[in-house]
């Protein structure tokens, strides 16, 4: 009896199997049977010649209307021109080789499948030397298939046509029966799922559209389970490690800090704070993701957790994605702590601790001191970029690692952090992000983390108004934007101008219109034009770290009026006096990124204004995306919208065309409930059988559908 892991060659012979391996990388029964049809057509609808687009690789079913051989004027030889129709529209096919031979076969009235790449010839679409298969030349079962209602159309490639794949699938389905269903029977029963054998039969040869739904539901479950099993395993292995228990200590630093906090915590900050406090009191590592809108006050939540850890005699590390942000964090933590953070200095409070900053580009002397403070335990808090988790940094006793703006950190870095605890312990990990993530994406991308969210902003926060500036249609509006900046600066405020690229790189000539507006060009243009009266600064990622830091400090101190920058300011930069942001070529940024960016203004008591400048025209998807940013300040709603407007494949990896992806059917938008169910099921299974030793089928499912590369890709996207 054949199984999914059997080699195709021994089953259907090398002649059929070799092309599948070469063209599609398919070598096993399972890989072929999980190469699902891309769509289905009933006979009449298969072709849709009317809907063809240039550049597509298509398979159409059509009838030959006429076929003419003529000799070519400027080349020797002859060409065969064939007109085919699907009843609605005609399409020209051209054959440059063996014209006479093809003409013999392609007689008017013949019906068949034609496949090839759609090109343009004299302003009409055509198929140049398509491959084809005529109905009356096909085998008996193939004709059956055609006479049946629903025809599977497979994702084909050059040299491997849909009908060839269909033939192989038919052959295999006739030969095998899949008896070992990887999914436990209880699960099939509980969720009313079809067996794998019947689901695979139905998806390739659906008797009707209802059974297609049944098949898809089961096969999606396989995909959802494969992903969630990986995360369940990661979670299980992460929490089963020992961690330093840090129960709260009465009368310690945290209490002293709370007593002098200049504001009351929001309900969200308090609730999340309690969850975290309970987690880090445990002798197993916390792995928690804290999502919270820009400005929702994540830093205080993190700091309070760090203080609880310091009270327990351990250290806390805070990782930021950029040096600018690390330096800013160190500054604001020191500010928040006041004399609680100046241990070793004159006037330090009792139990005071120290905040050390460690970045890649400090002077040797500064670096040495910071390393010493980390290793001796003199610093309770060590702030830095990912340089912190390099092996050269040793901690006296690391209890908690806070990772700010997680979307810049990969899973390896998280793992590296976990190995930095003392004596085989793993520190607790708190990951923070201001990029709101829809529930399914969170379950899929951060499936191994517990998730908390801060949904409200602290009271008294000023609203941000967002407007699209269609520069191509209304150039005067752009002039007005610069005036607005001048007015705000006149009132003593500051502004950001954000551009998609730096401008010192060689211009990318990718044939996609003009290159994006650059920071360097923009700054020069503004400084000599509309903003010539103002102090204009330039900030981007390729400046030396000390220069960046000096600039940010200068901007924070009000010594620069307008900061022209790349997205280095996207995360975490906090200058409450900045009230306007103009984003150039706004359509080139992601929705969540735009949301992040605008969160840099309106942080003080003056309302913020964000202007999205674009050349995109009304009615385009680009404008629709910008309109979405304009219409809502709710980051969660935006992230969902982003998911709708972006191809989901970008997240699930199907976009990596050419590389075989096991995740073909699952949709993060539509299958939210299923993913949640699969998550629960996976957690249950892994709790009893962590290595899946009693669920070999499921273990295979994981490796077959989500290879190790893939799992990592999911984490990073």
Q: Minimum CB separation from ligand ADP for residue 299, in Å?
A: 3
Q: Minimum CB separation from Mg ion for residue 434, in Å?
A: 6
Neighbours of 119 (CB within 10 A): 13
**Residue 438 interacting entry, from ligand ADP, Mg ion, none, C-beta within 5 to 8 Å by type:** none
**Residue 263 interacting entry, from Mg ion, ligand ADP, none, C-beta within 5 to 8 Å by type:** ligand ADP
| Member of 268, 399, 436, 572 binding Mg ion (CB under 5 A) | 572
Which of 284, 334 has the CB closer to ligand ADP? 334
Which of 422, 451 has the CB closer to ligand ADP? 451
Q: Which two tokens stand for residue 372?
A: 């010493």
Q: Minimum CB separation from ligand ADP for residue 357, in Å?
A: 17
Q: Which two tokens stand for residue 88?
A: 């609605």
Q: Minimum CB separation from ligand ADP for residue 337, in Å?
A: 12
Q: Rounded to 5 degrees, what are φ and ψ at 480?
A: -65, -35
Q: Which of residues 599-628 bind Mg ion (CB under 5 A)?
A: none
**Residue 295 interacting entry, from Mg ion, ligand ADP, none, C-beta within 5 to 8 Å by type:** ligand ADP
By C-alpha distance, which of 676, 667, 664, 662 is closest to 708?
A: 662
Q: Minimum CB separation from ligand ADP for residue 420, in Å?
A: 23
Q: Which of residues 40-99 bind Mg ion (CB under 5 A)?
A: none
Name the DSSP letter for residue 448. T
What is the spatial distance between Cα 604 and Cα 249, in angstroms, rounded to a whole number?
34
Which of 299, 639 has the CB closer to ligand ADP? 299
Taking CA atoms, 673 is separated from 95, 219, 666, in Å, by 51, 15, 11
Which of 298, 351 has the CB closer to ligand ADP? 298
Look at residue 34 and give its three-state secondary structure: coil
Q: Cα 708–710–714 angle (5° rounding)? A: 120
**Residue 294 interacting entry, from Mg ion, ligand ADP, none, C-beta within 5 to 8 Å by type:** ligand ADP
292 binds Mg ion (CB under 5 A): no
| Half-sphere exposure at residue 418, Cβ-oriented, CA atoms within 13 angstroms | 20
Which of 302, 522 has the CB closer to Mg ion? 302
Which of 430, 685 has the CB closer to ligand ADP? 430
* Three-state SS annotation for 356-419: EEECCCCCHHHHHHHHHHHHHCCCCEEEECHHHHCCCCCCCCEEEEEEECHHHCCHHHHHHHHC
Residues of this chain that interact with ligand ADP (CB under 6 A) are: 263, 265-266, 269, 292, 294-300, 434, 458, 572, 574
Q: Minimum CB separation from ligand ADP for residue 308, in Å?
A: 17
**Residue 360 interacting entry, from Mg ion, ligand ADP, none, C-beta within 5 to 8 Å by type:** none
Helix, strand counts (H, E) of the chain: 26, 21
Residue count at the site for Mg ion (CB under 5 A)? 1
Segment interacting with Mg ion, rule: CB under 5 A, options 352-360, 375-383, 466-474, 567-575: 567-575
Q: Minimum CB separation from Mg ion for residue 414, in Å?
A: 18
Burial of residue 399 (CB within 10 Å: 0-12, 13-18, 19+) is: buried
Q: Minimum CB separation from Mg ion for residue 404, in Å?
A: 6
Which of 255, 672 has the CB closer to ligand ADP? 255
Neighbours of 618 (CB within 10 A): 11
Structural contact between residues 483 and 580, judged by C-beta atoms closer than 8 angstroms: no
What is the spatial distance between Cα 652 and Cα 664, in angstroms, rounded to a whole number?
9
What is the spatial distance between Cα 339 and Cα 343, in angstroms, rounded to a whole number?
8
**Residue 574 interacting entry, from ligand ADP, Mg ion, none, C-beta within 5 to 8 Å by type:** ligand ADP
By C-alpha distance, which of 679, 159, 647 is closest to 447?
A: 679
Which of 269, 614 has the CB closer to ligand ADP? 269
**Residue 639 interacting entry, from Mg ion, ligand ADP, none, C-beta within 5 to 8 Å by type:** none
Which of 298, 695 has the CB closer to ligand ADP? 298
Partners of residue 356 on adjacent β-strands: 382
Question: What is the binding site for Mg ion (CB under 5 A)?
Answer: 572
């Amino acid at each position: 009896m054949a199984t999914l892991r059997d080699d195709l060659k021994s089953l259907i012979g090398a002649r059929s199997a070799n092309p599948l391996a070469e063209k599609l990388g398919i070598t096993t029964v399972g890989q072929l049977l999980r190469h699902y049809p891309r769509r289905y057509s009933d006979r009449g609808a298969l072709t849709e010649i009317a809907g063809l687009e240039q550049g597509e690789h298509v398979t159409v079913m059509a009838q030959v209307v006429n076929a003419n051989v003529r000799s070519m004027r400027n080349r020797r030889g002859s060409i065969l021109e064939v007109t085919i129709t699907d009843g609605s529209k005609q399409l020209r096919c051209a054959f440059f080789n063996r014209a006479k031979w093809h003409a013999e076969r392609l007689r008017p009235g013949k019906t068949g499948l034609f496949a090839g790449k759609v090109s343009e010839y004299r302003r009409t679409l055509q198929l140049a030397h398509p491959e084809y298969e005529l109905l009356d030349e096909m085998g008996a079962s193939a004709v059956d298939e055609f006479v049946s209602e629903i025809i599977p159309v497979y994702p084909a490639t050059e040299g491997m046509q849909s009908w060839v794949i269909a033939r192989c699938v038919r052959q295999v389905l006739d030969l095998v029966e899949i008896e070992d269903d990887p999914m436990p029977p209880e699960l099939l029963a509980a969720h009313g799922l079809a067996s794998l054998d019947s689901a695979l039969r139905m998806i390739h040869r659906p008797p009707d559209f209802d059974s297609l739904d049944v098949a898809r539901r089961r096969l999606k479950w396989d995909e959802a389970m494969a992903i969630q099993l990986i995360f369940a395993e990661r979670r299980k292995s992460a929490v089963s490690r020992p961690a330093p228990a840090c129960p709260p200590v009465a009368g310690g630093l945290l209490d002293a800090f709370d007593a002098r906090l200049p504001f009351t915590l929001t309900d969200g900050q308090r609730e999340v704070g309690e969850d975290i406090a309970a987690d880090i009191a445990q002798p197993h590592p916390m792995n928690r993701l804290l999502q919270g809108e820009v400005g929702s006050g994540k830093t205080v939540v993190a700091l309070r957790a760090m203080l609880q850890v310091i009270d327990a005699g351990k250290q806390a590390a805070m990782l930021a994605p950029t040096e600018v942000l690390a330096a800013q964090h160190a500054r604001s933590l020191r500010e928040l702590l006041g004399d609680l953070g100046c241990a070793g200095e004159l006037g330090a409070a009792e139990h005071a601790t120290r905040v050390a900053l460690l970045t890649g580009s400090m002077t040797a002397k500064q670096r040495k001191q910071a390393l010493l403070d980390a290793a001796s335990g003199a610093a309770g808090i060590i702030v830095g970029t990912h340089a912190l988790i390099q092996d050269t940094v040793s901690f006296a006793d690391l209890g908690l690692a806070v990772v700010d703006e997680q979307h810049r950190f990969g899973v390896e870095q998280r793992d590296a952090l976990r190995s930095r605890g003392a004596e085989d312990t793993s520190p607790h990990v708190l990951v923070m992000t201001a990029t709101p993530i829809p529930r399914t994406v969170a379950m899929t991308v951060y499936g191994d983390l517990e998730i908390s969210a801060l949904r409200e902003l602290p009271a008294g926060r000023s609203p941000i108004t967002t407007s699209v500036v269609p520069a191509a249609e209304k150039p005067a509006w752009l002039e007005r934007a610069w005036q607005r900046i001048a007015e705000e600066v006149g009132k003593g405020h500051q502004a950001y101008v954000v551009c998609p690229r730096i401008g010192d790189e060689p211009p990318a000539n990718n044939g996609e219109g003009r290159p994006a507006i650059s920071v360097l060009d923009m700054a020069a243009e503004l400084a000599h034009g509309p903003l010539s009266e103002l102090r204009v600064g330039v900030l981007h990622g390729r400046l030396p770290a000390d220069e960046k830091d000096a600039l940010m400090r200068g901007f924070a101190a009000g010594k620069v009026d307008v900061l022209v920058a790349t997205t280095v300011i996207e995360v975490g930069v906090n200058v409450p006096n900045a009230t306007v942001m103009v984003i150039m070529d706004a359509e080139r940024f992601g929705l969540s990124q735009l949301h992040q960016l605008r969160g840099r203004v309106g942080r003080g008591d003056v309302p913020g204004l964000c202007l999205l400048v674009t050349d995109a025209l009304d009615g385009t998807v680009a404008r629709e995306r910008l309109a979405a940013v304009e219409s809502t300040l709710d980051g969660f709603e935006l992230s969902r919208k982003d998911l709708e407007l972006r191809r989901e494949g970008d997240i699930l990896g199907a976009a990596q065309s050419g590389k075989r992806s096991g995740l073909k059917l699952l949709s993060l938008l539509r299958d939210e409930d299923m993913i949640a169910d699969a998550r629960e099921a996976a957690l249950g299974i892994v709790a009893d059988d962590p290595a899946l030793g009693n669920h070999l089928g499921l273990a295979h499912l994981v490796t077959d559908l989500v290879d190790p590369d893939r799992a990592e890709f999911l984490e990073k996207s």
